[in-house]
């Protein structure tokens, strides 16, 4: 985002983006444990995790897939692993529980949560990452569940998806403009 602060530690309505996400994770019923993934790019985030008593795993910062493999290996998490970015401050434990439940019944090794591109554009939000599912392109929320064992294997992973317009998932903060829009929407809808 071009700011001096690390993105997870970016202030958002009185606390860091990461604090909003961890609060949601801790309120979810279907998440048994959590760990923050850090790297040399997020040393202040690491310090924050230490001060809060949160588990974290330091990775080599070689991209999402490599860091995920490294974290899964270090943690030994071979079952379902929920992954999510620190930049979805409106996320709730209830939404995360729905994602985990959808994974449990989908019969696939990977479940992604996508948002209609037009919905983000209608709100004035950026589109930083897209992916195709069943012939349609969507904005990536960054919230996924994957079988940890499959993370370490090579080859194609069978995928399922949730397509949603829920505010809790839509508000993915990738730019300063996204940050301002997300803060305004959460204040307006009293999601704080």
120-148 pLDDT, tens digit each: 999 999 998 999 999 999 999 999 999 88
Q: Are 59 and 67 in contact (CB under 8 A)?
A: yes
- Could you state, in order of their start, the residue ranges of all structural domains in the chain? 7-188
DSSP secondary structure of 59-94: ---S-HHHHHHHHHHHHT--SEEEE--S--TT--HH
Answer with the residue of higher pLDDT: 22 or 151.
22
The pLDDT tens digits of the residues spanning 69-118 come to 889 889 888 889 999 999 999 999 999 999 999 999 999 999 999 999 99
Quote the pLDDT of residue 150. 78
What is the distance between the alpha carbons of residues 80 and 148, in angstroms, rounded to a whole number? 6
pLDDT higher than 70, residue 191: no
CATH number of this structure's domain 7-188: 3.90.550.10
Mean pLDDT calculated for residue range 36-64: 93
pLDDT digits (tens, 9 = 90+) for 144-185: 999 888 777 766 778 899 999 998 999 999 999 999 999 999
**CA dihedral of residues 142, 145, 150, 153 (deg, nearest 10):** 10
pLDDT attached to residue 31: 94
């Amino acid at each position: 985002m071009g700011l001096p602060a690390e993105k997870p530690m970016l202030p958002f309505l009185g606390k860091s983006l990461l604090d909003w996400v961890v609060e949601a994770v801790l309120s979810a019923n279907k998440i048994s444990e959590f760990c923050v993934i850090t790297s040399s790019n997020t040393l202040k985030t690491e310090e924050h995790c230490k001060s809060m008593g949160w588990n974290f795993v330091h990775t080599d910062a070689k991209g999402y897939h490599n860091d995920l493999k490294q974290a899964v290996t270090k943690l030994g998490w071979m079952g379902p692993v929920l992954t999510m970015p620190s930049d979805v401050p409106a996320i709730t434990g209830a939404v995360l529980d729905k994602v985990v439940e959808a994974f449990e019944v989908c019969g696939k090794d990977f479940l992604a949560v996508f948002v209609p591109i037009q919905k983000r554009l209608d709100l004035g939000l950026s589109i930083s990452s897209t992916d195709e599912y069943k012939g349609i392109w969507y904005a990536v929320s960054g919230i996924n569940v994957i079988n940890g064992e499959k993370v370490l294997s090579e080859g194609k992973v069978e995928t399922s998806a949730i397509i949603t317009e829920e505010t809790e998932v839509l508000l993915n903060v990738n730019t300063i403009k996204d940050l301002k829009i997300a803060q305004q929407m959460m204040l307006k809808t009293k999601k704080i």
